Amino acid sequence: MPSVKKTRPISFEVIDKSKAIAALLIQSNLEVIEKGRADSGTLSELELKKRIDEFERTYHHSYLAVIKDLWKWYLYIFTEKRSYYSEEIYNRYIDCISRVNKEPLIMLEFGNGKLTSYEWVFNGFVYEVNGFYSDDQIRLLILEDFDKERAYFEKLNAKFNQTANPNTTYERPRIPENIRIEVWRRDGGKCARCGSREKLEYDHIVPISKGGSNTARNIELLCERCNRSKSNNVV
């Protein structure tokens, strides 16, 4: 059987657009100089050095470190053999940052201009998959592991945090499993209000008693504290 496990948590700080584009312009000019293709629009080596110094004074950061953070998503940014504008690269980078909480992605690590390693990341964690599988199969295995964990903790929550009134005679319809999976993935397995991953519950935005439905659009993940802080009114 496939072996899938979370190896460590990971987070990504979004790079400021002006900072990213400044680093990309330095990198672009450097590559042109190194390849001996300089033209009238290319910075000289002296000008480039001044630009690098200015970058580090302004952002208190190495431009190369910024490039390495962008290049983590190289597979999803440079999908065609052509030139890319700095803004296009940045927009694709932002797309990757938004996607990584919704689907497993490959994150690359570079050292001295060479690929040193890669890892699968999804929803705040690095995943390890043992076995020989295609990229599409690995994505499915990670999603399956994520859903099994969700179901497991839902079971524990129902076992140890049962808060329903035992005297009530009203039983609302159970949320279908496919809807629970969709909501869990959409909300990233955490409270939609405070981001907590503890004691999560499925909450109807418009209560069933007031005509709400069992659809993903009407359901969100809330921790017990945020859920109890709500009234029975539509918010």
Mean pLDDT in residue range 137-152: 91
Comparing 160 with 150, which gets the higher pLDDT? 150
The percentage of the chain sitting over the pLDDT mark of 70, rounded to a whole number, equals 87
Look at residue 41 and give its three-state secondary structure. Answer: coil
Q: Other C-beta atoms within 10 Å of 2: how many?
A: 14
Q: Report how far residue 47's alpha carbon sits from residue 41's, in angstroms, rounded to the nearest whole number.
A: 12
* Nearby residues of 219 by Cβ (< 8 Å), 6 or more positions away: 175, 179, 183, 202, 203, 204, 205
C-alpha–C-alpha distance, residues 95 and 181, integer Å: 23
pLDDT of residue 136: 95
Element (H, E) at 3: strand 3-9
Go through the domains of the chain in sequence order and give each one's CATH number: 12-99 (no CATH), 177-229 (1.10.30.50)
Across the range 24-34, mean pLDDT stands at 80
**pTM of the predicted model as reported, rounded to 2 decimal places:** 0.69
Residue 27 CB neighbour total at 10 angstroms = 18
